[in-house]
């Protein structure tokens, strides 16, 4: 029986992970489940699966969680330290599916124990890639990518020599506004940005898909996970989201990973690795699909891609600044304080201001990244982003 923990269990990836675990219930012992505001879901899943521990990130909700778990035998806890403690409980396999930079510290704790980390939380590699990879090396833990494109690259690379890889192509659906004229984007609403054409995901990543910030994060994630040079990473618009990534080799071959837009494939691959087992995903009917389309991204409409390249060239703490500014820009958009097209200029302005700071420049190489330095820079970048958002609002 494998001992598993799911960080971010109440979210989209977390629920898909639990769906797979339920289908093979006797094969798993659930060590810990974590969530945030959704106490009813967290408690129901923890009861049903007999979890040892359930943790909410929100300390104010501990009473509700305790009430919901009364008599179940499931331990209840709350807050950041409790999340880290849950992640550090001995387990064979830990799903990292908290959204945002909040997922970094718990993921590192899990890696320190030597557990296999199934990594959906792309922000961990964007904010602190060298630190995360070093933590895995130090304990001998394995990281398995769960982001669909990175799972696709990982699968295409199986048995291949990295020295023969010339390029990696990450596909992008183009998001909710793929077919909108550029001039309409300034009036895009939160509700419109929250509709993904192909994937059913949490609201934040869905809006990031519309702004192409999701793809920007994924470029950095690919660089950190696979050790690629920035120039080897390409983005290709593919509206059907059936090819998730392609890997190019020195003999001209391109290996494409094709599959339905269902995260249970990538999650299940990481759960069963190194084996392949049957998964409850639909078989693709390519004849019925008929046509797979591809086109180059319009970089004028997607400044996030240019910013990602600048962040990769900069290295060090630039990823932490970029991610923090993006997270706050998204908060401000969702709250209606800034428009959709103001997010990228806000992030660019924060990068410019913060990269001029000596603390950011000092960590350029990435070798001396620590969790404290990343957290400190994240905090400053969020403050800077709030200031820039106020300036944007005042300008009107």
Ligand X SMILES: CC(=O)[C@@H](O)[C@H](O)COP(=O)(O)O
Binding residue per annotation — 148? Answer: yes
DSSP 19-57: HHHHHTGGGEEEEEEEESS-HHHHHHHHHHHT-SEEEES
Cα separation, 243 vs 256, in Å, equals 6
Residues that bind ligand X (CB under 6 A): 147-149, 172-173, 175, 199, 205, 209, 214-215, 263
Cα separation, 239 vs 166, in Å, equals 24
**Shortest Cβ 214–ligand X spacing (Å):** 4
Q: How many residues sit close enough to ligand NDP to count as binding (CB under 6 A)?
A: 29
CA 64 → CA 4, 45, 70, 77, distances in Å? 24, 15, 10, 11
What is the pairing mode between strands 165-172 and 75-78?
unpaired
Nearest CA to 94 out of 46, 28, 148 is that of 28
**Shortest Cβ 63–ligand X spacing (Å):** 35
Chain residue at closest Cβ approach to Mn ion: 147
Binding at 4: pick from ligand X, Mn ion, ligand NDP, none (beta carbon under 5-8 Å per type):
none
Binding residue per annotation — 379? Answer: no
Binding residue per annotation — 10? Answer: yes
**Shortest Cβ 244–ligand NDP spacing (Å):** 10
35 in contact with ligand NDP (CB under 6 A): yes
Binding at 57: pick from ligand X, ligand NDP, Mn ion, none (beta carbon under 5-8 Å per type):
ligand NDP
Give buried/exposed letters for 106-137 (b at 16+ CB in 10 A, else e).
bbbbbbbebbbbbbbbbbbbbbbbbbbbbbbe
Shorter beta-carbon distance to ligand X: residue 10 or 173: 173
123 in contact with ligand NDP (CB under 6 A): yes
Shorter beta-carbon distance to ligand NDP: residue 64 or 314: 64
Binding residue per annotation — 370? Answer: no
Binding at 44: pick from ligand NDP, Mn ion, ligand X, none (beta carbon under 5-8 Å per type):
none
Helix/strand/coil (H/E/C) assignment for every residue in 95-142: EECCCCHHHHHHHHHHHHCCCEEEECCHHHHHHHHHHHHHHHHHHCCC
Residues that bind Mn ion (CB under 5 A): 147-149
Q: Compute the CA torsion angle 208, 211, 217, 218 (nearest 10 deg).
A: 90
Binding at 209: pick from Mn ion, ligand X, ligand NDP, none (beta carbon under 5-8 Å per type):
ligand X
Binding residue per annotation — 175? Answer: no
Cα separation, 234 vs 171, in Å, equals 8
Instruction: Give yes or no for a contact between 136 and 114, defined as CB atoms under 8 angstroms apart.
Output: no
What is the pairing mode between strands 116-119 and 53-56?
unpaired
57 in contact with ligand NDP (CB under 6 A): yes
Binding at 215: pick from ligand X, ligand NDP, Mn ion, none (beta carbon under 5-8 Å per type):
ligand X
Binding at 11: pick from Mn ion, ligand NDP, ligand X, none (beta carbon under 5-8 Å per type):
ligand NDP
Beta strands in 149-299 (DSSP E): 165-172, 233-237, 243-249, 254-258
Q: Which stretch binds ligand NDP (CB under 6 A): 36-44, 65-73, 293-301, 384-392?
A: 36-44
Binding residue per annotation — 52? Answer: no
Instruction: Give yes or no for a contact between 88 and 3, defined as CB atoms under 8 angstroms apart.
Output: no
Binding residue per annotation — 123? Answer: yes
195 phi/psi in degrees, rounded to 5? -110, 110
Q: Which of residues 8-27 bind ligand NDP (CB under 6 A)?
A: 8-14
**Shortest Cβ 111–Mn ion spacing (Å):** 21
Binding residue per annotation — 38? Answer: yes
**Shortest Cβ 168–ligand X spacing (Å):** 14
Cα separation, 233 vs 207, in Å, equals 22
Binding residue per annotation — 250? Answer: no
Chain residue at closest Cβ approach to ligand NDP: 11
Instruction: Give yes or no for a contact between 258 and 243, defined as CB atoms under 8 angstroms apart.
Output: yes
Cα separation, 299 vs 343, in Å, equals 15
175 in contact with ligand NDP (CB under 6 A): no
The annotated binding site for Mn(2+) is made up of: 147, 149, 218
Binding annotation for 1-deoxy-D-xylulose 5-phosphate = 122, 148-149, 173, 196, 209, 214-215, 218
Q: Which residues bind ligand NDP (CB under 6 A)?
A: 8-14, 35-38, 57, 83, 97-99, 102, 120-123, 147-148, 199, 201-202, 204-205, 263
């Amino acid at each position: 029986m494998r001992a598993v923990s799911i960080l971010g269990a109440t979210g989209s990836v977390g629920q898909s992970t639990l769906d797979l675990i339920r289908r093979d219930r006797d094969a798993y012992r659930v060590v810990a489940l974590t969530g945030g505001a959704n106490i009813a879901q967290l408690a129901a899943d923890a009861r049903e699966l007999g979890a040892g521990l359930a943790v909410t990130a929100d300390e104010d909700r501990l009473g509700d969680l305790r009430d919901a778990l009364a008599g179940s035998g499931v331990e209840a806890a709350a807050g950041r330290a409790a999340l880290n403690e849950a992640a550090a409980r001995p387990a064979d396999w830990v799903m990292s599916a908290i959204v945002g930079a909040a997922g970094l510290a718990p993921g590192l704790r899990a890696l320190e124990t030597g557990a296999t980390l199934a990594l959906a939380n792309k922000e961990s590699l964007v904010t602190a890639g060298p630190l995360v990879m070093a933590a895995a090396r130090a304990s001998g833990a394995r990281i398995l990518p769960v982001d669909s494109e990175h799972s696709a690259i990982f699968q295409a690379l199986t048995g291949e020599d990295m020295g023969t890889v010339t390029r990696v192509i990450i596909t992008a659906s183009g998001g909710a506004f793929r077919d909108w004229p550029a001039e309409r984007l300034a009036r895009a609403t939160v509700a419109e940005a929250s509709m993904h054409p192909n994937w059913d995901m949490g609201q934040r990543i869905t809006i990031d898909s519309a702004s192409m910030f999701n793809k920007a994060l994924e470029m950095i994630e690919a660089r950190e996970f696979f050790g690629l040079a920035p120039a080897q990473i390409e983005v290709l618009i593919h509206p059907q989201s059936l090819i998730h990534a392609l890997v190019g080799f020195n003999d001209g071959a391109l290996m494409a990973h094709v599959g339905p837009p269902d995260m249970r494939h990538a999650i299940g691959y990481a759960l069963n690795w190194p084996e392949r087992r049957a998964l409850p995903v639909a078989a693709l009917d390519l004849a019925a699909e008929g046509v797979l389309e591809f086109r180059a991204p319009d970089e004028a409409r997607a400044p996030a891609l240019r910013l990602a390249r600048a962040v990769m060239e900069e290295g060090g703490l630039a990823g932490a600044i970029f991610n923090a500014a993006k997270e706050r820009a998204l908060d401000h958009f969702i709250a209606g304080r800034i428009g959709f097209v103001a997010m990228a200029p806000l992030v660019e302005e924060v990068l410019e201001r913060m990269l001029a700071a000596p603390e950011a420049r000092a960590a350029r190489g990435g070798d001396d990244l620590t969790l404290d330095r990343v957290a400190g820079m994240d905090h400053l970048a969020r403050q800077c982003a709030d200031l820039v958002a106020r300036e944007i609002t005042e300008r009107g």
